[in-house]
Amino acid sequence: MIAAIRVEALKLTRSLVGVVATLAVVGGMFALLGGIVWGIAGGNAELIAQAGPAAALDWEGLLAGAAQITAVVAVLCFGIVLAWIFGREFTDGTITGLFALPISRGRIALAKLAVYAVWASLVSVALALGVLILGLLFGYGPPSGDAWAALGRLWALAMLSAAIAIPVAWVATVARSVLAAVGSTLALVVIAQVGALIGAGGWMPLAAPALWAMSGGAAVTPVQLALTGACALASVLVVWTAWVRLQLDR
Amino acid sequence: MLSFADVGFRFRGGASVAGLTFRVEPGEIVALIGLNGVGKTTLMRLALGMVRPEHGTVRLFDHPLAAMPVRLWAKVGALIEVPLAYPELTVRQNLHISRLLHGAPDCVDDSVQTWKLSGVVDCRVRRLSLGNRQRVGLAAALQHDPRVIVLDEPSNSLDPASVILLREELTRRAQEGAAIVVSSHHLDEVSRIADRVLLMNAGRLIGELDTAGSDLERVFFERIRHDDEQRDAAESAR
C-alpha cells in the first residue's frame, strides 16, 4: 500500500494538472477577492449590490466572499483533479500496467484517494492562509475570534468540497474517461446549486457544506453536516468496489 | 507455469474467444500468431486477469487465477497494448515506479544499461519516440526478473537493433527458466526465438506452425484459409 501511495504521489506532484489546479484555485481566490474588494472600495454600485454580505470592507465581508467563491471553485478544482487521477489511466492506456501486480487494484484506488486527500488538505490550508494574508494586506487588522472561526469554516468547507467530489472518481472508472468525469464534476456543482435553490438545504449533502460555511454555521446542523461525511465514505467504498471488480472488457 | 483449459470469453459487442487450451512450461517461449483482431490480445488479457473467463480455467503457478495469492503477481512481467510509461515522468522515474509496484529491489540502473536507455534516462517520456517508449515499457515489464512473461506485440515500433536486443533478452530469460508468451504477426521474428508457435484464427487456437519448414508465410496463410473454409462450411451446414 505504501508503495502504491508513493507511486501515486510521484505522478500527481510531477503532473501539470496538480500544479495548475493548485495555482488556479489559490491564485483564483486571491484574484477574485482582490477584484471584489478593489471594486467595492472604488464605489462600484452594481458590484456592491450583487456582493451582498461580501460587500463589507472588513473580515466579515472578506470571509463571506471567500466562502461563496470556495463553495463553487473548490468542488470544480478538486473534481477536475480527481477526474484526471482516475480517468487518465484509461485515457492514456496505462490501466493495463496496473493489472498483474502484487498490489491489488482496490489498494491502488485507495492509494489514489489517499494522495488526493493529502493534496486537497494542503490546498485547503493554502486557501485559508491566502485569505488570512489577504485580510492582513487589506489592513483589516488582527482577526477577531469570529473571524478565526470563519477561517476555520472556510478550511472545513474546502475539505468537505474535496469529499463531495469523490463520486467523480467512480464516474471516471465506469466511463473510462477523463472528460466524462469532468462533466460529472460540473453536474455536482449544478445539482448542489439546484438543491440549494429548491430548499433542500442542509439535508442535501452536496449543498450542506456551502450553506454551513456561508451561514456562519447556523443553517446546517451537525447531523446534516455529518451526512456529507458519511456520503463521502460511501463514495470511497463504491470507488474501491469498482476497482476491485474492474475488468478491461470493453 | 501458465495453462488455459477450454477458456472462453465474449465481449458485449460480440467478439469472442473460445476453447482456448494450451500450456507454457518453464524455459519455453511460446509465440502466438494470427491476423489482426483474431483474439491474441484478449487471450493475453485472460492470462493476466484483465478479463475473467466465462468458460474454463486459467491457471498460473498451479493456481486458478481467481484464487491465486496476490503476492505471486510479483513473478509476472507483462506489456499489453500500452507501455506502463507515464508521459509526465522521466524514464528513470517510470522504471522506479514499476519497480515499486512489482515489489522488487532496486534494479533500475541495471535495467537502464540492459535496454540502452542511458541517453534518455532523465528525459520525460512524452518527449521520447515511440520506439524508445516501447523500450521503456519492456524494461519496466522485465526488470524485476519475472518467471512468467506475457508480451503483446513487443517489437512494435522497435528499430532493428532493439529487436535484436529484445530477442536476446527473451532467449536469455527462457534459458534461465522463465515461461514466455509473445504475440506477433511477424513470422520471421517469432520463428527465430519461439519453441512453439500457436496459430490463432477467429478467436480459436487452430494448431501449431512448424517453424523449421520453409516458406512460413505461405504455410501460415494456407492454414488460415483452410480454417476459414472449414468454419464457413460448418456454419452453412447449420
| pLDDT tens by residue, A122-140 | 999 999 999 999 889 888 8
Chain A environment of B82 (Cβ under 8 Å)? 92-94, 96-97
CB A79 within 8 A of CB A185: yes
The distance of A171 to chain B (nearest Cα, Å) reads 20
Residue A67 banded pLDDT, cuts 50, 70, 90: confident
Q: Answer yes or no: do B74 and A96 touch at CB < 8 A.
A: no
Q: Answer yes or no: do B84 and A96 touch at CB < 8 A.
A: yes
Residue A203 banded pLDDT, cuts 50, 70, 90: confident
SS3 B78: strand
Size of chain A, expressed as the number of residues it contains: 250
The distance of A4 to chain B (nearest Cα, Å) reads 7
CA distances from B40 to A40, B17, B32, B157 (A): 67, 9, 7, 18
Nearest CA in chain B to A4: B101
pLDDT at A95: 94
Residue A191 banded pLDDT, cuts 50, 70, 90: confident
Taking the C-alpha atoms of residue A47 and residue A27, their distance in angstroms, rounded to an integer, is 21
Closest CA to A66 of A149, A132, A160, A18: A132
From the CA atom positions of chain B, what is the Rg in Å?
A: 18
Q: Answer yes or no: do A14 and B150 touch at CB < 8 A.
A: no
Give strand pairing partners of B200.
B205
Residue A250 banded pLDDT, cuts 50, 70, 90: confident
Closest CA to A11 of B117, B123, B161, B93: B93
CB B108 within 8 A of CB B139: no
B11 touches chain A (CB under 8 A): yes
Q: Answer yes or no: do B86 and A94 touch at CB < 8 A.
A: yes
Q: Answer yes or no: do B70 and A104 touch at CB < 8 A.
A: yes
Of A16, A99, A104, the CB nearest to B48: A99
CB-defined contacts A:B, below 8 A: 87
Interface test with B, best of A12, A15, A88, A99 (most B CBs within 10 A): A99
Taking the C-alpha atoms of residue B135 and residue B123, their distance in angstroms, rounded to an integer, is 14
Q: Answer yes or no: do B82 and A97 touch at CB < 8 A.
A: yes
Which grid coordinates belong to B74? Answer: 510479483
Closest CA to A217 of A129, A154, A134, A160: A154
- The runs of H, that is alpha helices, within A142-203 are 145-164, 167-175, 178-197
pTM, two decimal places:
0.90
Chain A environment of B70 (Cβ under 8 Å)? 102-104
CB B219 within 8 A of CB B53: no
A72 touches chain B (CB under 8 A): no
A21 touches chain B (CB under 8 A): no
pLDDT at B141: 95
Residue A154 banded pLDDT, cuts 50, 70, 90: very high
Chain B environment of A10 (Cβ under 8 Å)? 89, 93, 96-97
Matching residue, cell 484509461: A90
- The runs of H, that is alpha helices, within chain A are 2-13, 16-41, 45-51, 59-91, 105-137, 145-164, 167-175, 178-197, 208-214, 222-244
> Per-residue pLDDT for A177 more than 80?
yes
A245 touches chain B (CB under 8 A): no
Which grid coordinates belong to A88? Answer: 487518465
> Per-residue pLDDT for A214 more than 90?
no
Taking the C-alpha atoms of residue B44 and residue B30, their distance in angstroms, rounded to an integer, is 12
Of A6, A94, A102, the CB nearest to B70: A102
Compute how many other C-beta atoms are within 10 angstroms of the C-beta atom of residue B92: 18
Nearest CA in chain B to A97: B84
pLDDT at B238: 73
Q: Answer yes or no: do A250 and B12 touch at CB < 8 A.
A: yes
CA distances from B199 to B29, B38, B59 (A): 14, 10, 21
pLDDT at B135: 94
Q: What would the mean pLDDT of A99-103 be, rounded to a whole number?
A: 94
pLDDT at A41: 76
pLDDT in tens, chain B (238 residues): 899 999 999 888 777 899 999 999 999 999 999 988 899 999 999 999 999 999 999 999 999 998 999 999 999 999 998 888 999 999 999 999 999 999 988 889 999 999 999 999 999 999 999 999 999 999 999 999 999 999 999 988 888 899 999 999 999 999 999 999 999 877 888 888 888 999 999 899 998 888 777 778 888 888 888 888 888 888 887 7
Chain B environment of A6 (Cβ under 8 Å)? 97, 100
Which of A64-68, A159-163, A198-202 has the lowest average pLDDT? A198-202
Chain B environment of A250 (Cβ under 8 Å)? 11-12
